[in-house]
Structure 1
Amino acid sequence: MTGQTYFVTGTNRGIGFEITKYYSNLSKDNKIIATARDPSKADKLKELAAKNGNVEIITLETTSDKSIGLIDSELAKIGVDGIDVYVANAAISDSYINVIDCPKEVWLDHYTVNSLAPILVLQKLYKHLLKKETRKLVFISSGAGSLTRFVPTPVSAYGQSKAALNFSVLELSHELKQEGFKVVAVSPGVVSTDMGNHGHSEIVKNSPHLEDLLKSVSITPEESGTQVAQVIDNLKEEDNGKFLNYDHTEYPY
């Protein structure tokens, strides 16, 4: 099996860690560039890197222009010659507030991390992705960003920021199609990560009738990360521009 190089953001825990673990275990020939805001605190990630030898951990604060500006030098340090797959996973979700009450700084924080940062990182990675033929761009989105399958519970800035990210996915899928890129948004499901569990409890506070539904569809981080990775592995040309669910079905925008 020919190894591929993956650039994954937000890998110190949760879905990002599980995607990193999946590709690291899949083949010793893979190289995973795993980013974290503070690698010194990413104990599980460091343990995985020491065990498998194919995970390179770099510092990346996706809200910092300075940190994003250092991506080229970070890649040069670890001898990366091209990237096959970019997985934009880093995100925040803490806006379980009605639109009418949501403060400006909450909107801006969610837009900065969830909508803009994935694109700003891509702008730095673009030339590295062009060095490979694989050219897969995967943006981890959320069902909360679907306008068609809207769930009436307060997610305000989070839902809107993911809908904005989805718009960029659609636009990029057209912009980069002629260069052979496959650009998709992927919903990872309702996942029992730290962030997901916090969201679950906040949603149930606001919408108690959704508790049984959330419990029935909840999956573990490992289940989500593994299935998202398998979606990535199986991307075809005709998937370009789609919003896909972790279970390999298409999610409505």
Structure 2
Amino acid sequence: MTNKRLSVVVTGANRGIGLELVSQYLTDGWQVHSCCREPELATQLASLASNSALSIHQLDVGNPDSVENLGLALSEHSIDLLINNAGIYGGERQSFGDIDYEQWARVLNVNTLGPYRVSTALADQVENSERRLIVNVSSTMGSIEQYASGGHYIYRSSKTALNMVTVNLAHDLRSRGITVLSVHPGWVRTDMGGSSADISTPTSATGLRQLIDDVSIVDSGRFFSWDGSPLPW
């Protein structure tokens, strides 16, 4: 495997936090493997393609064949950092008595099974790297202890389940030296977060990168906010 520089895989890289992480890691000289469902429509991501350190891959984390193809495409690369960022909200029908069950299944497939699929497909490449780190982008909306209000059944359950996936991966991959975290990116001004959210994508991405720089295997299986503060499950 080759390891000429530190490398990162970012899913959901066509917009929002994912796009900002791609931009910042490129600026810092990393090899960046960016992934999104429809690369031909990812104009902002394509605008960064003049940097030879960027590769763009088609990936639908909800499709097992697509994930397998990514694993094959990156089979000869070491991956220091995998950021499972791709996710969807699931529409407005998420209240008691008004649930879109098809959407619920779709969101669980993308937000929960997706990160597991990608982590499984790329675990060997992560193990054969210097940093050996997997970061699952979760949310405080998935925290059972912290989140007090009701509603948002679909999105919240998908992130709570993702947090359990993080803990399981941390146990199962510890012997291979791989650190696995869940992170809350903050309430960010993105298409999902809306224009009234607390922080910008550069602020969130910068904080997440600092957190990623600071953690080690002793932190594996934990849940952190974008600013480095620990969060309850």
- TM-score range relative to shorter protein: over 0.9
* Number of the residue aligned with 2:144: 147
Match for residue 107 of structure 2 among 107, 110, 135? 110
> What does residue range 159-174 of structure 1 map to in structure 2 within 5 Å?
159-174=156-171
With the length of structure 1 as denominator, give the TM-score of the two structures. 0.86
CA distance in 2, matches of 1:178, 1:101: 44
**Which has more radius of gyration?**
1
Match for residue 80 of structure 2 among 79, 84, 92? 84
Q: CA deviation at 1:153?
A: 4.2
Gaps spanning 5+ residues in structure 1: where?
201-214
Alignment deviations for residues 30-59 of structure 1 (CA, whole Å, 9 cap, x no partner): 201000111111111111121x32111011
Tell me which protein shows more helix as a share of its residues.
Answer: 1
Instruction: State the one-letter code of the partner of 1:176.
Output: L
Gaps spanning 5+ residues in structure 2: where?
none
The Cα RMSD (Å) is 1.6
CA distance in 1, matches of 2:71, 2:176: 22
Taking every aligned residue pair, what percent have the same amino acid on both sides? 31
* Number of the residue aligned with 2:7: 5
With the length of structure 2 as denominator, give the TM-score of the two structures. 0.93
Instruction: State the one-letter code of the partner of 1:44.
Output: Q
CA distance in 2, matches of 1:146, 1:226: 23
Instruction: State the one-letter code of the partner of 2:28.
Output: L
The SS at the match of 2:181 is: strand
The SS at the match of 1:194 is: coil
In 2, are the aligned partners of 1:95 and 1:155 still within 8 Å (CA)? no
Instruction: State the one-letter code of the partner of 1:71.
Output: L
Q: CA deviation at 1:237?
A: 2.4
Matched, 1:31 2:31: yes
Q: CA deviation at 1:95?
A: 4.3
The SS at the match of 2:98 is: coil
Stretches (4+) displaced over 4 A: none
Instruction: State the one-letter code of the partner of 2:23.
Output: K
CA distance in 2, matches of 1:241, 1:121: 17
The SS at the match of 2:21 is: helix
